[in-house]
Amino acid sequence: MIPVSLIGTFLTYSFSDVEFGTGGYASMVMLAGLTVNAGIYIQHEYRNLSEAHPTLSPLKAYVRAYNHKIIAVFLTVLSTVLGLVPFYIDGDSEPFWFSFAVGSTGGLLFSIIALVFVMPVFLKLETRPTVSKGE
């Protein structure tokens, strides 16, 4: 998920003609942490559901975990992006913070794409042995 988020950061810098600078490096660090945190959050819920309901198929357990945690992840991304809005107001007068806000915003919006489309592909939905009622 991190590479897709970083692609979003680099595309944002290339389309906006904002200088990458130290703000770009700082945004990459923050972005990596938030993206991994979102993935861990959903994966943790998936494992809890799998253990609590052993008869639930792995795909259904993942969908339930995703549906249960995606609102919190979206709110985290939204609040972070909205928290960066004041740095856009100053513009180029504060180059570090402006670059940081641009990179973080672009990467966070792409992290949503990574979370929705990339994570389910690479997440190994573990198969569990089925338990019959006679055992």
Please state the length of the chain: 135
pLDDT, position 124: 66
Q: What is the pLDDT of residues 39-65, one digit of tens each?
A: 888 888 888 888 888 888 888 888 898
Query: Who contacts 61 (Cβ-Cβ below 8 Å, separation ≥6)?
Result: 46, 49, 50, 53, 125
Show the tokens assigned to 101. 């806000």
> What is the reported pTM?
0.78
CB 98 within 8 A of CB 92: yes
Show the tokens assigned to 23. 């703000």
Output 80-86 pairs: Cβ under 8 A, ≥24 positions apart: 80/34, 80/104, 80/108, 81/105, 81/108, 81/109
Query: Who contacts 29 (Cβ-Cβ below 8 Å, separation ≥6)?
Result: none
DSSP three-state, residue 14: helix
Give CA–CA dist 42/48, Å, rounded: 10
Q: What is the pLDDT of residues 108-130, one digit of tens each?
A: 998 888 888 888 787 765 555 45
